[in-house]
Amino acid sequence: AADIPCLAYRSTWRNPRIEWKFQKGSSLVLFYYGGELTEPYKNRVQFSPTTIHFNTVTREDTGKYICEVVGDSSQIAKSEVNLIVQGASAPRAPLPA
């Protein structure tokens, strides 16, 4: 599991619009937009204004997570977190000797 904070969130802004993007190399994916998680994050991530929580992470989740918050007076704040997932791949049966 992993929690990624949205340091851009300001509790003093009324009705802020929050977007989350995931960047891996030159690819940029919008995964929280318009109040909804997009596929394939829908069943793996919980959203709150200050954090996204991954139930499970894999090496595929390694990359940059960008939180962008837009206030009702067009204020914009942005924060970025680099997530690096390390560890062994899925368990395998041992090879015969």
SS3 92: coil
| Cα distance between residue 4 and residue 31, in whole Å | 13
Q: What is the pLDDT along the chain (97 residues), one digit of tens a residue?
A: 899 999 999 989 988 999 999 999 999 999 999 899 998 898 899 999 999 999 999 999 999 999 999 998 889 999 999 999 987 555 455 566 5
Handedness of CA 17, 1, 45, 91 (dihedral sign): positive
Rounded to whole angstroms, the Cα distance separating 1 from 6 reads 17
Q: What is the pTM of this model?
A: 0.84
CA 35 – CA 64 distance, rounded (Å): 20
User: Residue 52 CB: number of other CB atoms within 10 A?
Assistant: 22
